[in-house]
Amino acid sequence: MGSTDSHNSHSEANTIIISFVGDCVLGDYKGSSGATFNAKFKEMGGDYGYFSKGVREVLSADDLSVGNLEGVLTDKNLKNAFIKPFSFKGPSIYTNILKAASIDSVNIANNHTRDYGMEGFKDTITILSDAHIPHFGEGILDVREIKGRKFGFAGHRGWNPDIKHTAKKEIESLRAQGAEIVIFVFHWGEEREHIANKIQREIAHYVIDSGADLIIGHHPHVLQGIEEYKGKKIVYSLGNFIYGGAKNPKDKDTMIYQVEFRFYPDNTESKAHFDTLMGDPTIQAKYASNLKSIDIWETHNAVVIHRLIPANISSQNAYNDYSPRIYPEDSEGYKRVLRRVSEYSTPLK
């Protein structure tokens, strides 16, 4: 599958911005009651835009926004496929929540994608396809062209190191389909643990060694650190985002991870631009509060700018109202997220 869409143009034709957000649970879990996601949707009169009013300004201003769709979309009264505390499911109309949020593409490789069996999994794929929402994961690859550049996306659950070899083959397939930049998404790690474990790091390093350019992770439901390995970033966990999985999770911090690619005709120009950015106090001042790094990818003739945008999964601190918001730059929440990500990244160096 592929696509040529991009929802915003920039002043520089060779500049492409991609935003990544964490776990999106659109719907309720079996047995839930009270102030649930579905109850909030009804309370808001079916307003799809309610769930992204605090983040849409950021996500609508990039060229692609990618999220993790955790759970099933179906209009059928399916039975749970597994006996477990949480099984997530929402109706097909909830694809409009993704569209209203300007989440253009979703990963479907996670531990809830088959909560309602293969039928629920297939329904989810059909519903996303019918809504023209690109998706990838579990063997489904997505190659899309944005402003003349081809990006390849793949995703898997990452608890078993054996998945490394499948990932390597998929990277090779994405390259064969013309992908210049390969981005791999993993659902992995341990819930509520902030430090990436040995298996996460083993898989991540192998996948970078196999040709991936960027790795994005989720599943722990909390923030984890960011590792730089051979000049490439591994973002181990983004936490939750539009999250119907709990009415009041203790940890509501999250972040949008944004990558800006600036492509140049040759390395001479990219190196000159890199030097300019690194030496320009105006640029440094502009990004000082949330700049993770500026990298030069010589094999792609590109300068890559990484940004963290701190956020909260709720506009209310006392409970989850399922409407994430961006923390103001002068707020304690903003500073706390940056401080936490830095702390969790330290052991990875």
- Dist CA 346 CA 280 (whole Å): 27
The single residue listed with the structure tokens 């009651």 is 33
pLDDT given at position 60: 98
CA torsion, points 336, 66, 221, 215, in degrees to nearest 10?
-90
pLDDT tens, 193-215?
A: 999 999 999 999 999 999 999 99
> Encoding tokens for residue 46?
């079916």
Q: What is the DSSP string of 314-335?
A: -S-SSS--S--EEPPTTSHHHH
End-to-end CA distance of the chain: 37
Q: What is the pTM of this model?
A: 0.94
Sign of CA dihedral 58, 47, 244, 319: positive
Tell me if 283 sits within 8 A of 311, measured CB to CB: no
Q: From first to last of the 349 residues of the chain, give the pLDDT tens digit.
A: 444 444 443 334 489 999 999 999 999 988 899 999 999 999 999 999 999 999 999 999 999 999 999 999 999 999 886 777 789 999 999 999 999 999 999 999 999 999 999 999 999 999 999 999 999 999 999 999 999 999 999 999 999 999 999 999 999 999 999 999 999 999 999 999 999 999 999 999 999 999 999 999 999 999 999 999 999 999 999 999 999 999 999 999 999 999 999 999 988 999 998 998 888 887 777 766 677 789 999 999 999 999 999 999 999 999 999 999 999 999 999 999 999 999 999 999 8
181 Cβ partners below 8 Å, 6+ apart?
149, 150, 151, 152, 213, 214, 261, 300
Amino acid residing at 256:
I
CATH code where residue 297 lies: 3.60.21
φ, ψ for residue 240, nearest 5 deg: -90, 170
pLDDT given at position 83: 73
Amino acid residing at 27:
G
pLDDT tens, 273-283?
A: 899 888 888 77
Tell me if 29 sits within 8 A of 87, measured CB to CB: yes
Mapped onto helix, strand or coil, the DSSP state of residue 18 is: strand
pLDDT given at position 288: 67
User: Looking at the 3D structure of the chain, how many domains does it have?
Assistant: 1
> Encoding tokens for residue 101?
């949020």
Q: Are strands 291-297 and 253-263 parallel, antiparallel or unpaired?
A: unpaired
Q: Residue 21 belongs to what domain range? A: 2-348
